[in-house]
Amino acid sequence: MKKVLSLVLVVCLSVTMLCACGSDSKTEAKKESDKTLSMATNAEFPPYEYVDGDKVVGIDVDIAQAIADKLGMKLKVDNINFDSIIPAVTSGKDQIGIAGMTVTEKRKKSVDFTDSYATGVQAVIVKEDSKIKDAADLTKKGANNKIGVQLGTTGDLYCTDDVENAGLGKVEKYNKGADAVQALVSGKIDCVVIDNQPAKEFVKANKGLKILDTAYKEEDYAIALAKDNSELRDKINNALKELKADGTIQKILDKYITAE
C-alpha cells in the first residue's frame, strides 16, 4: 500500500513539475519579447541621431538606452525614413519613436507622447551672402523663395502652410536634411528650414552657409508611442523623471551639444 501511495505521489509530483516547467518556459518566452525595446528613428539628424560607421548613435539613442536600462530591457534600433516613424509605432512594428520628434496637435491624433526631454527651434540656413536676412522674410508680402525641408518634419508642415499654401514661395521636400543642404549649396534653393541642432552640424560641415539669428518656431521633443500603450508610457515617463533628476539627460545633451 505504501509503495502504491509513493508511486502515486511520484507520478503526481512529476506531472506538476512538467506542468510547471511548461508554463515557466512559456512565461520566459513572453518575458524575452517584453525585454526588447525597439525604437524607430531616422538617423539623418545629427546630433540627435546619425550613422557613425555601421552604428546609429546620438542623443536619442543614448536616452533610449538609458530608459531601456532602467526598464531592464534591451534596445533595438530601427533606422527608417522620418515619415515612416509614426506608422511604425501605430502598427506596433516598433514600440517607440524617438527622433527629435516635435509634439504637435496633429501627431497627437495618431500617437501618444511621453513628457518632453528636450527642446528644439526651427532654424533657417542660408548662404552667407543671402538676401534673406530674417525668418520673417520668408512670409512677407511678395516673398518668393524656394525653401528646402526634410519631408514630413515640422519645418515641412510650417513652410507648406505659411509659405506655399499662402502663395509666398515653393517648398522642396527632401528625404534627408543633408540633401536639402546640398541643394542650397549648389544654388537650387534659397534656404533650408530645419531644427537648430542639425542646422549647426550642417553649417559646420559645409562652407559658405550660416544660420539666421531669428528662429522660426520653438518646439518640444518627446517620445511617440502607440495610443493603447499607456503602461509603457508611464514607465518611460517615470524613467525620464529619474534620468532628468539625476542629471543623466543633461549629461547626454552636453556630450553631443557643445555650448556656444
Give me the least distance between CB of 142 and ligand ARG, in Å please: 28
Which phi and psi angles does 220 have, rounded to 5°? -105, 135
In the complex with ligand ARG, the residue whose CB is nearer, 169 or 198, is: 198
Give me the least distance between CB of 251 and ligand ARG, in Å please: 21
| Cα(184)–Cα(85) distance, integer angstroms | 26
With residues binned 3-state (H G I as helix, E B as strand, rest as coil), the percentages for the chain, rounded to 5, are 45, 25, 30
Binding mask 154-193 for ligand ARG (x = CB under 6 A): x---------------------------------------
Binding mask 34-73 for ligand ARG (x = CB under 6 A): -------xx-xx--xx------------------------
In the complex with ligand ARG, the residue whose CB is nearer, 57 or 235, is: 57
Cell of 118: 528636450
**Which residue type, as a one-letter code, is found at position 114?**
T
In the complex with ligand ARG, the residue whose CB is nearer, 61 or 67, is: 61
3-state SS assignment for residue 213: coil
Cite the DSSP H helix spans in the chain.
2-34, 59-71, 85-90, 105-108, 154-159, 177-185, 196-205, 230-245, 248-256
Give me the least distance between CB of 65 and ligand ARG, in Å please: 16
Which phi and psi angles does 230 have, rounded to 5°? -70, -25
Give me the least distance between CB of 184 and ligand ARG, in Å please: 17
Cell of 51: 550613422
Question: How many residues line the site for ligand ARG (CB under 6 A)?
Answer: 16
If binding is defined by CB under 6 A, does position 113 make contact with ligand ARG?
no
**How would you classify the pairing of strands 169-174 and 145-150?**
parallel
If binding is defined by CB under 6 A, does position 197 make contact with ligand ARG?
no
Q: Given the rule CB under 6 A, which residues bind ligand ARG?
A: 41-42, 44-45, 48-49, 82, 99-102, 120, 150, 153-154, 195
